[in-house]
Amino acid sequence: MKKTIATCHCEPRFAGRGNLLFRSIMRLLTCTALNAVRCKCRHPFRAPRNDTWKIAFILKTFLFLSACTAFGGDPTPVVAVNNGQQVQVQSEATSTPPPLRFDLPTPGAEPVSGWRPPLYPVPWAVSPYDHFYFARPISADNVNWPLAQYRYGGIFFDKVVHTGVDIPDDSGTPILAAGPGTVVWAGWGLFTEAPLNEDDPYGKSVAIRHDFGYRGQRLYTVYAHMDAVNATLGQWVDTGEVIGYVGRTGQTTGPHLHFEVRLGDNSFHNTYNPELWMSPPQGWGVLVGRITDEKGKVLRWYNVEVRPEPEGKPTRTVRTYGGGATNPDPYYNENMALSDLPAGIYKVSLEYEGDPYRTWVEIFPGQISYITFRGEDGFAIEPIPTPRLKFIPATPTIPATPEIPPPIQ
């Protein structure tokens, strides 16, 4: 019995339908179903009768691909209606999977940086009455600013008034001379003025009498609580020279440098606020104030808050002087000072007799800004008072030139 040879017309039938893979599969299926020996396809195909597993594989592949579009699109569902007709329904696009997500911790508040700009060169004085004469006694690669809780005029150790500023640093940190001068004390006993007194509250200390003064008076600086002294009595030292190392000798709660400025006499009772004498960081300034009641009586140990605008952070709290051995500046007559403030606008506030008071002040680079508070009268931003002469010198009178008579002819 002769085989039936079927002439296949799959080439024109499937031309233009789908991609090359689709056309190839359709030609293959058609030729296989007809058991063709010859075919008008571009690539003749003979299907052996015993290769049924190959045909099954091809049919499964066709069924799998028929579930999708030729280009991998979404299937178009078909639904039946009452009249028996089938209607194609356009399905919604399959939503793409969400992108890969990482669960990260919520960032906290931005830390307050301890970085500060370099200092103004010394001596630095914008006005004739400024006296930023001293460099910082600790180098810039360490903490070299006053500890907020231990400023000048604070009250500690059974109502003892603090006559300097404390700069916290690790034991062994080098201490530098704040200005040129002669060492007039080196070792134990500075506070009690008793050499070799190891019970002295200042511990191991150095005092320098500087080569310059202020208003005709001598200037001294004191460096206390040293771990070791690196200077000798009578030695001349220059600015920045290492004179000792931070420690905790004497009456302390931890390693730090106690720094004082003394004017006129090298005495505990002749100290002035070092924040008005140490050079500020470049671009930063100092706030100085006089806080009194309505009658002009100074308010001691009063909290004053200083906040930068508009952020409001960080908040700085400074207290007015506690009295005792503290002394106001001869010119500013202040009882409050806060140094190392970046230039800008600040909100200053305090509470007086249960009522809040506030004002705004601008801090200028390398300068002192001055405020006053007078009880119920509140704050006032005033120009720094101009000193006046205690007497007005008399204007010399120039005698009239006597009239010269004409010569006698």
CATH of the domain at 263: 2.70.70.10
Residues 133 and 271 in one domain: yes
pTM assigned to the model: 0.67
- Is 206 in the same domain as 258? yes
Residues 246 and 299 in one domain: no
pLDDT tens for 162-199 read 999 999 999 999 999 999 999 999 999 999 999 999 99
d(CA 170, CA 176): 15
Q: Are residues 132 and 227 in the same domain?
A: yes
Within this chain, do residues 262 and 159 fall inside the same structural domain, yes or no? yes
Asked if residue 189 is part of any domain, the answer here is yes
Cis peptide preceding 174, ω within 30 of 0? no
**Inter-residue contact 62 to 24 (CB < 8 Å):** no
| Same domain assignment for residues 271 and 314 | no
Q: Is the dihedral of CA 295, 297, 302, 305 positive or negative?
A: positive
Angle between helices 52-66 and 20-33 (to 10 degrees): 140
pLDDT of residue 96: 64
How many domains, in total, are found in the chain? Answer: 3
Give me the pLDDT at residue 277, please: 97
Q: Is residue 61 part of a domain?
A: yes
Q: Are 141 and 238 found together in one domain? A: yes
Q: Same domain, yes or no, for 129 and 253?
A: yes
What Cα–Cα distance (Å) separates residue 221 from each residue in 131, 140, 239, 310?
A: 14, 19, 12, 38
pLDDT for the residue numbered 219: 97
Tokens for 81?
A: 């209606």
Average pLDDT, the chain: 79
Identify the pLDDT of residue 69. Answer: 45
Count of positions (residues) in the chain: 409
C-alpha–C-alpha distance, residues 272 and 286, integer Å: 15
Identify whether the C-beta of residue 326 lies closer than 8 Å to the C-beta of residue 155.
no
Buried-state track 249-288, b at ≥16 Cβ within 10 A, e below 16? bbbbeebbbbbbbbbbebebebbbbbbbbbbbbebbbbbb
Give the pLDDT of residue 306: 96
| Residue 360 to residue 349: CA distance in whole angstroms | 9
- 55 and 176 belong to one structural domain: no
Same domain, 178 and 127: yes
Boundaries of domain holding 227: 121-278
Shared-domain flag, residues 288 and 334 = yes
Q: What's the rounded Cα separation, in Å, for the pair 145 and 228?
A: 21
DSSP string for residues in 81-150: -TTS-EEE-PPPPPPPPPPP----PPP-PPPPP---PPBPPSSB-SSTT--B-B--SS-TTS--S--GGG
DSSP state of 226: E
Residue ranges of the chain with pLDDT lower than 50? 1-18, 34-49, 69-76, 78-79, 81, 89, 102, 104, 107-112, 388-400
On whether both 309 and 365 belong to a single domain, the answer is yes
